[in-house]
Amino acid sequence: MLQRDRQIRTQIHQLADAGLFAMSFWLAYYFRSQPFVSEWFPNNPVHLDDFDRVMRFLFALVPAAPLVLESQGFYKRNIISTRATIFWPLAKSCLIVTVGLVLLLFLFRESAPRGVMILFGCTSFALVWIKEEVLRVALRSRMAKAQYRRRVILAGIPAETARLRSEVSASYGDSLEIVGEFNLADAPVLQLVEQLHEHSASGVIVSARHTQFERVENIIKVCEVEGVEAWLVADFFATKIARASFDEMFGHPLIVFRSTPETSWQMLVKLLLDFFGSLLLLLLFGMPMLVIALLIKITSPGPVMFRQQRSGLNGAPFNIYKFRTMTTNAEQLQHELAAMNEMSGPVFKVTNDPRVTPLGVRLRKWSLDELPQLFNVLKGEMSLVGPRPLPVNEVKRFNDLAHRRRLSVKPGLTCLWQIGGRNKISDFKEWVRLDLEYIDNWSIWLDLAILLRTIPAVLRTTGAK
């Protein structure tokens, strides 16, 4: 199934599932309020009128349920899939949504009868499961197959069409039916026209890895005249990391190769999380930051803040803010400590750095010196989560161009290598590997997981320098 079709199908499922979860919330109160259920809980009666008081929480529940299902991979399935691929993601999602709803009710000091919450979890699971079973039966019918199953012709050299046939049969056999093959190397285009008419095909999948583009153009023109879709498999460029997507500019079709997260609703959530999260943290730590600034001013001569040029998004330089933890001539003394560097590559790291002030040791231990970087996040120069920004002069010393891909996203306050031991890593290649792992697997859920794991990592002060 094409990605566009999959997206439309997923959106329809998300709307339906959101409605089913909302219905489950009401049904849980309805069943719990019935006499034959209430008699089992004589000391804790529940009335259907109680639902009116908590109905406002549906506004949080309805959008959250599809997001949780998506995070568990519930929608990453074929049209017809096994029950096992449905059961576990659905069960985990219902549990997460139920626990989240309990916490939300507790936060707003609303009563949450255990019977209602248990009924909600079970009912939501049952309704979504019934929906999937109904769809399974409907999609297996002959009428449904005739509606959604597409008849396609494979066009390419024999080796390519054989590979395509096996891939399509393995992954898209329930939605695509291969009705013919066309040798793109030497067969006349008229033969493709005859196949289109004979098999009543609705699409042609063209594999053009080893074929001249003039031949491909002729195929596309034939499909254009016939009113048949032409799907060009754009694997003639051998990319290892970059993912291809289709776009348009000034009416010209574009194939975009991207090795970084693409623009999506999750990116919008990340921007909002960065802005409001940094604003909230600044309000929360505003007074402690004033106290720290005063202590720095009293205990050592020099400015309170340390500013340094760091490489940001795509290497663009920006001024990073930190509480000063070193003597004022720290950068001038760095060359004298070069022999003590514990980090391979262009990065400079030293345990028990003699340039650090006594107060600076404590600030670094608890990562309090990083708090001013919340202003960088608020300004949009950094993110709450992302690869740590390196000084501009260290980035210039990169000896492997692949290391620069860590600059393809905004730098952050915390990242994977910090929560994995903070400054324990001494191999710069391992540091970069973790940063690229973050970029390649990025999602808003990964950001939230890293933020949650950062708190205990800071409290343990493991690996702090």
Full-model pTM: 0.62
80/133 Cα distance (integer angstroms): 10
Contacts of 388 (CB under 8 A, 6+ apart): 411, 412, 415, 417, 418
Output b/e per residue, 1-39; b: 16+ Cβ within 10 A. beeeebeeebeebbeebbebbbebbebbbbbbbeeeebe
User: CA neighbours within 13 Å on the CB side: how many for 19?
Assistant: 7
| Beta carbons of 151 and 177 less than 8 angstroms apart | yes
Question: What is the tens place of the pLDDT at every residue in 399-433?
Answer: 877 788 888 889 999 988 777 655 566 677 888 88
Q: Which domains does the chain have, with CATH numbers?
A: 3-142 (no CATH), 149-236 (3.40.50.10700), 265-460 (no CATH)
34/23 Cα distance (integer angstroms): 17
- Positions of E strands within 109-219: 150-156, 176-183, 203-207
34/32 Cα distance (integer angstroms): 6
pLDDT band at 40 (very low <50, low <70, confident <90, very high): low
CA 316 to chain centroid: 24
Determine the pLDDT at residue 45. 57
Contacts of 334 (CB under 8 A, 6+ apart): 348, 355
Question: What is the tens place of the pLDDT at every residue in 216-268?
Answer: 888 888 888 888 888 887 766 666 677 777 777 667 667 777 777 777 788 88
Please tell me the least confidently modeled range out of 2-11, 118-127, 284-293.
2-11
Packing angle of the helix pair 114-139, 83-107 (nearest 10 deg) = 150
Percentage helix, strand, coil for the chain under 3-state DSSP, each rounded to 5:
60, 15, 30
